[in-house]
Structure 1
């Protein structure tokens, strides 16, 4: 069940992060003020809805997916919250600065560290759902 849940959440993540993310969200989700927080919250909500739909589809269509509603709600809150924090960009910048990756950050590495952090959060969600 873990593999199915992880794939469902990962595909939903990719959909929410790329084709379902608006230009406004991408440009402003790390900005200060109302516009930044609003863009960030809407983007995180897109992840929650998309991952929720993926979990519902998996539960309905796959024999090996049987999830608890309270655990699913917790996993979706986790996904939305971690996505919102990571996308404020300062956690990735902090990580790269404190792990000797400053040069890589200046040459496009932040996007890769960002995605790795999101995938790690999805891993935790999939583990919780399959436990």
Structure 2
């Protein structure tokens, strides 16, 4: 394994844990209930949730640098968490997951709680993975 591969692996794990922390223990009931709605309350709830993702990601990247001894360049250290916040906010509007499940003919899966799984898969595939690749490629 070369240095870039090791950096990618470490960063992917850290950003995935950051995602889980921001999506579950650090997300308030208010954010969860209102982030997909309309109006100023929903925009604030979604923005607060996205900022939580950015913040937790930055903290875990700093912990990774301190404990694991890797270095993330300044540009990727800013761009990756911003990407995580923006992509997370877009997916959490809920309509992308609903449209995907309709297109993929997953009505039965959706009716039995599948949207939460598709949502989390989208966050990892479209948020965490590209952010980790960005950091590995630019650091």
TM, length-normalised to structure 1: 0.97
1:128 corresponds, among 125, 130, 134, to 134
Over the residues paired in the alignment, what is the CA RMSD in angstroms? 0.7
Q: Does 1:93 align with 2:98?
A: yes
CA-to-aligned-CA distance 1:78-118 (integer Å, 9 cap, x gap): 00000000000000000000011122111100000000011
Structure 2, gaps ≥5 residues long: 1-6
SS of residue in 2 equivalent to 1:116: helix
| Alpha-carbon separation, structure 2, partners of 1:81 and 1:7 | 19
- What does residue 48 of structure 1 align with? 54
- What does residue 19 of structure 2 align with? 13
Note the 1:64-83 alignment, pairs <5 A: 65-83=70-88
SS of residue in 2 equivalent to 1:100: coil
The alignment of Structure 1 onto Structure 2 pairs a total of residues equal to 130
2:63 corresponds, among 57, 61, 77, to 57
| Alpha-carbon separation, structure 1, partners of 2:41 and 2:107 | 28
Structure 1, gaps ≥5 residues long: none
Structure 1 segments (4+ residues) deviating >4 Å = none
2:30 corresponds, among 18, 24, 29, to 24
SS of residue in 1 equivalent to 2:27: coil
CA-to-aligned-CA distance 1:49-79 (integer Å, 9 cap, x gap): 000000011011113x221111111111100
TM, length-normalised to structure 2: 0.91
